[in-house]
Amino acid sequence: MPVDRSTIWPYDERGEPRAFYYARTAHPAGAAAEEELGRREGGDALLYASGMGAATNVLLALARPGWKVALAEGCYYGTSKLLGLLADWGISYVEYDQTGPPPPAEIVWVEAPANPVLTVPDWAALRGHPGLVVCDATIATPVYLQALDEGADVVVHSATKFLTGSHDALLGATVTRDPEKSARLREFRTNAGIVAAPDAAAALLRGLETLDERMARHTESAAELVRRLEEHPAVSKVRYPGFSGVISFDVDDARVVETSTKLILNATSLGGARSTMESRSRWEGDRIPGGLLRLSVGLEDVDELWADLTQAMGRTAHDLNI
């Protein structure tokens, strides 16, 4: 289907706006992709300019000055940075181990699984919590988690990752079941202008068509690489939640390994058909282990990926002249 990139649509013959009249409010590709994602998640989906746009909108629309957010420790670094910046707006945060019960807070923000430490939330403990439960399900995707069924009030996605799946669209999403929250999120999104581009929304529609098959293959290859990494003498620790395509593992010199791969791109981000790997301490400092490599397993042949990893782990700083 051709993508309608219009920003305006004429009013009807009575001079009244139709379903689409100005693209910041809604546009056809966005509405179609929201419908499909909402169907997959069992809720009302809204799209945003990026995953962080979605997170920002959740906090603008649903948090209040004086509120505290209990944030899963070891979760996506950008979320903790955003919450740190919102201190000026009277929002504070505390990190906690999401495999156990959360501390008192107005909002509990979990990640399923946490990027890059790959822990999963304790849903039973969350169900008893009085606060608003937000779950970033970027890595699980609706294929492996129905977070609203588990008890989340709001699901957040960076659709930039597996949902679109090709490293060529920047996109975020929220999904809720409560009409009041959906209306408030929509109102803030439109007025703050944190909206998705039509082409990115169209990429989501295409991505959802193949999501199940892609996720099955990401998982199969990642599980096989985990088995092999666990036996490799250069690897001291492997983290993997048992589903999806992201692994993190520790080596002595992450910089040498990440710069020695050929098939696996030494690049940030995750969830694409092409595998990517990076040392996360470059961004996160000592928040995570210095030798931690985050590998997003793509759709390439698993033996070729393993050959690339083993040759990279056999290199030394001396070989590379660094």
111 binds ligand PLP (CB under 6 A): yes
Site string for ligand PLP, 267-286 (x = CB under 6 A): --x-----------------
Cβ neighbourhood burial of 180 (10 Å; 0-12, 13-18, 19+): exposed
Q: Which two tokens stand for residue 227?
A: 């088995």
Q: Which two tokens stand for residue 20?
A: 């689409």
Give phi and psi for 317, each to the nearest 5.
Answer: -60, -35
Instruction: Determine the interface stretch with ligand PLP among 47-55, 221-229, 276-284, 288-296 (rule: CB under 6 A).
Output: 47-55
Q: Which two tokens stand for residue 242?
A: 């048992």
248 binds ligand PLP (CB under 6 A): no
Q: Which two tokens stand for residue 115?
A: 């990027």
- Near ligand PLP by CB under 6 A: residue from 41, 50, 196, 225: 50
Cβ neighbourhood burial of 127 (10 Å; 0-12, 13-18, 19+): exposed
Place of tokens 């295409």: 206
Q: Which of residues 122-181 bind ligand PLP (CB under 6 A)?
A: 136, 138, 158, 160, 170, 172
Nearer to ligand PLP, 176 or 244 (CB): 244
Nearer to ligand PLP, 111 or 253 (CB): 111
The least distance separating ligand PLP from the CB of residue 253, rounded to whole angstroms, comes to 24
User: What is the SS3 assignment for 52?
Assistant: helix
What is each CA distance from 27 to 23, 48, 49, 203, in whole angstroms? 5, 12, 13, 14
The least distance separating ligand PLP from the CB of residue 166, rounded to whole angstroms, comes to 14
Nearer to ligand PLP, 57 or 260 (CB): 57
The least distance separating ligand PLP from the CB of residue 11, rounded to whole angstroms, comes to 34
Nearer to ligand PLP, 9 or 269 (CB): 269
Nearer to ligand PLP, 21 or 283 (CB): 283
Number of neighbours of residue 285 by Cβ within 10 angstroms: 10
The least distance separating ligand PLP from the CB of residue 284, rounded to whole angstroms, comes to 12
Residue type, 73: E
Q: Are strands 172-176 and 237-239 parallel, antiparallel or unpaired?
A: unpaired
Q: Which two tokens stand for residue 316?
A: 């030394």
Provide CB contacts within 8 A for 137, sequence distance 6+: 111, 112, 145, 147, 152, 155, 156, 157
Instruction: Determine the interface stretch with ligand PLP among 27-35, 46-54, 95-103, 146-154 (rule: CB under 6 A).
Output: 46-54
Number of residues that bind ligand PLP (CB under 6 A): 14
Q: Which of residues 185-224 bind ligand PLP (CB under 6 A)?
A: none
- Near ligand PLP by CB under 6 A: residue from 76, 162, 188, 249: 76
The least distance separating ligand PLP from the CB of residue 133, rounded to whole angstroms, comes to 16
Closest CA to 111 of 152, 67, 61: 152
The least distance separating ligand PLP from the CB of residue 111, rounded to whole angstroms, comes to 6
Number of neighbours of residue 168 by Cβ within 10 angstroms: 12
113 binds ligand PLP (CB under 6 A): no
Residues that bind ligand PLP (CB under 6 A): 50-52, 76, 78, 111, 115, 136, 138, 158, 160, 170, 172, 269
